Amino acid sequence: MNNIKKPIEQDSSEQKNRETAIDYEEAGGYPVCAIRDDLKEAGEDRAEDGEERVLLVGVRLHGRGKVYHFSPGDHKIRRGDYLIVETSQGIEIGVAADWPQQLPKSSVRAPLKRVLRLASNDDILHYEENKQREEEALVTARERVEVYGLDMVLVDVEYRFDNRKITFFFTSDGRVDFRELVRDLASIFLTRIELRQIGVRDEACMIGGLGICGRELCCSTFLHEFRPVSIRMAKDQNLSMNPSKISGTCGRLLCCLSYEHHVYVDARKRMPDRNTRLMTPDGRGLVEAVDLLKEEVTVRLDRNGEQDVKVYRLSDLGD
């Protein structure tokens, strides 16, 4: 298995966990949370631009990880509902990440998988039983990893809804020969076994936790996919380049650096650069600092050999 460790600025999802429906990018970049108030009944609609749209619902399989899109059919689905869905790997259970929404039909990859039904009480009970089995399986598998002395860290376990397959997620800095481990686990659990290597961002998403802001991690709560984040975003926002200040629990750049980046980019276009000279109401001076959000400029004035520092609103400055 290839080593998938990537540079800190390579902030894309290191591995696609499942191939079930359409990915965020394939949906034309429409986030699942972009809910329209004028949604019609399940089926197709036509947007103002004449492009045909199709009704979709975002689902977190097993209630965690990445969001996938499915056709809701005639089912009346609300956010948080447990759903039984059809995937390329078989029948699975998931949780509606948001209310159904409409996306351009041209952006949907056919054939689109569908929601089979809302989960029954028995389905949810079976899901909870599988969750308990997953905890026990993780303990057992970690013990076997130690026995074989493998350089890998088991992060999570996922039982397929029909119990015909168990997937173990792990991280490792290099290649791992786990063939003997797979045969051992198959003899213990008497079902198909898959070991899947994931990246550090997927690990944080699965485990969860608190960020430096004190809130739950974005990736494990409301983010539907990982987007690229670069060090340029931190520089554009005049943030400290201290890695501990701009990195998340996964060690990568904070996802939230991209949330308002466009605001700072637009503001910077209107603001003067540092160390440039400009005209102020009090004469010419040198720009020492800029506050992008307040649109304030700190200028050092030259007055007959004396220097004075003043803060000006951008609207008060000349060209």
What tokens appear for 226 in the block?
A: 């990982």
Cβ burial of 104 (10 Å; 0-12, 13-18, 19+) is: middle
Domain definitions of the chain by residue range = 25-119, 125-201, 227-266, 271-316
Confidence tier at 68 by pLDDT (50, 70, 90): confident
Q: What's the pLDDT score for residue 303?
A: 73
Check residue 157 and give its pLDDT. Answer: 93
Give the mean pLDDT of 248-260.
Answer: 91
**What is the band of 267 on the pLDDT scale with cuts at 50, 70, 90?**
confident
Please compute the mean of the pLDDT values over residues 115-129 and round it to a whole number.
94
* Higher pLDDT pick, 314 / 18: 314
Contacts for 49 with CB less than 8 Å, ≥ 6 apart? none
What is the structure's pLDDT at 199? 87
Residue-wise pLDDT for 298-307, tens only, equals 988 877 766 7
Query: In this predicted structure, what is the pLDDT of residue 180?
Result: 93
User: Distance between CA atoms of 81 and 97, rounded to whole angstroms?
Assistant: 8
Percent of the chain with pLDDT over 70: 82
Give helix then strand counts, H and E, for the chain. 6, 14
Write out the two tokens for 251.
Answer: 């060690």
User: String of b and e for 156-189 (b: at least 16 CB within 10 Å)?
Assistant: bbbbbbeeebbbbbbbbeeebebeebeebbeeeb
| Average of per-residue pLDDT values in the chain | 80
pLDDT interval class at 258 (50, 70, 90): very high
Chain centroid offset of residue 188 CA: 34
Q: For 155-167, what is the mean pLDDT?
A: 92
37 — pLDDT class (breaks 50, 70, 90)? very low
CATH classification code of 125-201 = 3.30.300.20
**Cα(133)–Cα(159) distance, integer angstroms:** 8
Q: What integer is the mean pLDDT of 196-205?
A: 88
Residue 318 has pLDDT above 80, yes or no: no
Nearest in space to 59 (alpha carbons), one of 29, 86, 89, 90: 86
**Structural Rg of the chain based on CA atoms:** 26
Does pLDDT of 1 surpass 60? no
Task: Pick the more confident residue, 182 or 107.
Answer: 182
pTM as predicted = 0.67
Residue 11 has pLDDT above 50, yes or no: no
Which has the closest alpha carbon to 68: 10, 120, 27, 13? 27
Which pLDDT score, from 0 to 100, does residue 50 have?
Answer: 64
Quote the pLDDT of residue 272: 87
Q: Is the pLDDT of residue 123 over 90?
A: yes
Work out the pLDDT band at 9, boundaries 50, 70, 90.
Answer: very low
**pLDDT over 60 (residue 10):** no
Is 48's pLDDT higher than 60?
no
**Does residue 40 or residue 96 have the better pLDDT?**
96
Quick one: DSSP state of residue 132? Answer: H
On the question of pLDDT at 173 being above 70, the answer is yes
Cα–Cα distances (Å) from 128 to 63, 121, 258, in that order, read: 11, 11, 36
Residue 279 near residue 317, CB atoms below 8 Å = yes
Proportion of the chain above pLDDT 90, given as a percent: 34
CA distance 183 to 144: 11
